[in-house]
Every structure is written in structure tokens, then in C-alpha cells.
Structure 1
Amino acid sequence: MNRTLATLAAGLVLTTVAACGSSDSDSASGDATKAPETTTITVFAAASLKDTFTEIGKQFEAANDGVTVTFNFAGSSDLVAQIQQGAPADVFASADTKNMDKATGDDLVEGTPRDFAKNTLQIATPPDNPARIASIDDLADSGVKVVLCAAEVPCGAAAAGVEKAAGVDIKPVSEEQSVTDVLGKVVSGEADAGLVYVTDVKAAGDTVKGVTFPESAEVINTYPIAALSGSKNAGVAQAFADHVVGAKGQAVLATAGFAKP
């Protein structure tokens, strides 16, 4: 009788061990079929980079499985203020060195920013150019409705520079916080002209007419990019910055009309 009980007990132990082994195997198999983890980075980029960076972001995602790139496009001064106030961001691309210097000065940048593009101003008018704008001097004529970027925004600082170079004093009907807002007022017909980047005129196509002026060569905006020290995905953030300064990113920027840094 005791031998029978012992045999039954041993059988139960073996059954329990086998059951546990089966459970562990099933669990391991389940882990192997899990979808790969995804990584999301947020890029704060100047408004004038919207079209190009959207395309570059798609390139980067296609080359890096499981990575998603989200963007916050605005005036560079607004973006750096948001970063200084603790907004979660992984990469900062500015339309000038001045605003990047603010981020660097506050130890918000990882490593050394790298220049990746240059841009110059052009006059944008509605397609029929109702005010007959032919030069920057015409923007100072009374009755001409001109829209500029605010002075603290890179395109506004550049506008002030070309005004000085041309010796004119433009009285804008409004000052905007981003170059896309300036372009929008020209496209909508709210303004006779606006000072925007050559890349914005090119991207706008037939919705505006571009008027070049020689004084624009006196003020060239240089665009720097850097990964941010607060990034929780520092490696991916740096890889995105590398992609922008690399051959594929530079090809997109060149097609849009940006000059090499």
C-alpha cells in the first residue's frame, strides 16, 4: 500500500514539472511573436523647413524600422522659447544661428550644432502683382500693403538687414511670427507683398510671384541643427541630425532651393 502511494506521488511530481515546462515554453514562444518596440522622436524645426523636413522625416522612417518622427514647425524664436520652458523635444533645427546659440547657451544642446543649409529672402506678391512691385524700394511706397516677419524671428531679422542694405524703411501692415504666416497673407490677397525665403516662393508655386532683388545677397540665413540634451532617445535624435546633413537629406534641401551651408 505504501509503495502504491509513493508511486502515485512521484507521478504527480513529474506531471507538475512537465506542466510547468510547457507553460514556460508557451511564454517564450509568445514573446518571440511580439511586435518590435517603436521609438518616437520630436523635431522642433523652423517653419520654412516644413516641406523639406516632412519629406526627410519619411526618408528617415523608411530607413529605420520602428522609428516615428513627429514635428513641431514654428518660428525659431518661438521654438527655442518652448525648449527653454521644458517642452519635450529631441532635435532642434533653427533658421538662424542666433536662436541656436540661445539653446546652446542654456546647455540644451547635445554636442556641437552643425550647419545644414542657407537661405535668402525674396519678395512674394500675388500672381498678378497688383501693386507692381519690382524692387525692394517699392515696398516702402505709401499705400503698398507689406507683411514682414517680426524682428525676433529669423526672417524678420533678415528683412531688417536687407532694409538697411537697401536704405529703405518699410512700414508693414502686420508682423508675423513665422514666414509661413507672411506667405499666407500674400496668398490670400491680404497683402500686396511680403518678404519670405526663396524656398517659400518656390514651394508656393503658382499661388505667388517671386521678385528678386540684389540686396538679398547681403543677408544670408544659415540653418544649424542639433540633438537636444533632454532627449530620451539621444541615439535616434543624433541619427536624424546626421541624416539631415548627409547626402539624402541634402538632396531634398537642394531640390527645394536651399543653398549648401
Structure 2
Amino acid sequence: MAGKTFRFGVVAAAQEGGAKWRETARRAEDLGYSTLLSPDNLHLPTPTAALAVAAAVTTELRVGTFVYASPLRTPRAAAWEAHSLSVLTDRRFEMGIGTGLPAMREAAAELGLPYGNGAERLTQVSDTISHLRRLDGDAHTPVMIAAGGPKARQLAGERADIVTLAGSVLASRADTAQYAAEIRAAAGGREVELAMNIFVVGEEIPPWIRGFIGHDIETLVEHDSLTLLRGGPASMAEELQRRREELGVSYYSVNGAFLEDFAPVVARLSGR
């Protein structure tokens, strides 16, 4: 299938202070990454502040949330933050949003907000987009939805500009192709950019990533996990080209731990 041109993002947190964060932003831009993406977590600096700083020390790098957890803000507050970032970064901001991991239940409680059930959290995602569109007026802040389940994929296809396939770490290629097809069907004739997050680049999983995904490298290899990318730059590039052809995925993000390791692939494929 025909795909969009490749672009690449790096997911990192401003947890080591301002100087290190500014260095990360500049380095990501120098290496040719399209976006610097910040997670949403009460134990880290707020992505709103982090991304504003990153945009201020770069000229072309785009910035984005990866992703706002809908239970941690009211839809109007989330849209306010997103629109403000879009304006102050001269439209270099992309709002990523999703319903949040189960761990967000405790975070929402700490903020005095309801966690809600799945349908309610998905409604919050939709309402946030509606508020953002009203605030944007004639402008258009790109919206990414991290879509795991069928209802999220339906909403993402209908309303998002970018959809990150956020299913199981061990989802097969066939299942992932089906998820992508559902999103395209929901989009109708509207153009949607499909994205995927690569958790592991190479042969080793950093401990914190191992704890997050709950699987070792052997299990990822055994299941041909699409969250794993192995081999040298040429073979990695070939694999991503295969995925674009088979799945239509053209936008890939990697963890900040792999910023340098993945850079040769970015150099080979970015904009192609």
C-alpha cells in the first residue's frame, strides 16, 4: 500500500533538569528527528512546561505529548494547554492524547479528578478535541490518538490526524494490519498518518522499559513483536520500509535511551 513519507520521534522526559533537557532537544533536532515527545506523569515535569522549553531552544523540531492521559485534566483544561502550546511554539506542537493506563487511576485521585470507566475516558478524549478545534479557530493543531481497543480505533479514525497503534506489545503483524484497516475504514476518505512506538532498538532492554512492557527480549523475538527493532541500520531501515508497505505505518517513535542508536536509521529514511 502507498504510504506517507517517513518521520521519526523520540520519547523523553525532562527528569534530569533543564540543562540536560535542552541538550536533548537540540540533539534530537541535529539528528534529524521530527518530534520530541513528552510523557504525561505526575512524577515528571509537566509536558506543557517541558515542551515549551524544548521548542524555545530549537527552530524546526516539533514537540508533542505522548500522550496526555484524559483523566488527568478536564477536556477544556487539556485543550487550553494544547492550544497555548500550539500558539507559543508557532504551530510546532502536536497534541497526543489517550485514555490513560490503569496507573492513571491513582494519579487522577491525587488531582481530585474521577478516573471514570473506559467509555467516559474516551468521551473525554473526544471532548478535548472538540474544545481544541474551537480554540484553534482557523488554525489546526494536529491531534494524535493512542488507540488500543476497537472503540478507540473508531474514534481515532474519525477524528485524529495521527493514530498510534497502541495494542498489545505481542500483537501479531496480521492483527496489527487489521487494526490499521479499521482505522482507515473509520477515516473514510480522510487522510490519517499511522504511527507506532518502538520500545526496544537492538538486543537489550533497559530495566525500566522491561518493567513497563512486562516481557524479556526472548519473548519479543519469539512473537515477532513490532515494538522491537533489531540488526544494523540497513536491516532496520528495510524492516520499517516493509512495515510501511504492509501496514501503512510511516511515523515511528523510540525511547530517549535509543536517541543515538536509532539516529542512523533516521538519517537513512527521514523524508523518504
Query: Is the shorter-chain TM-score for this pair beyond 0.5, marking a shared fold?
Result: no
Structure scoring higher RCO (CA < 8 A, sep ≥ 6) equals 1
Q: TM-score normalised to the size of structure 2?
A: 0.24
Larger Rg: 1
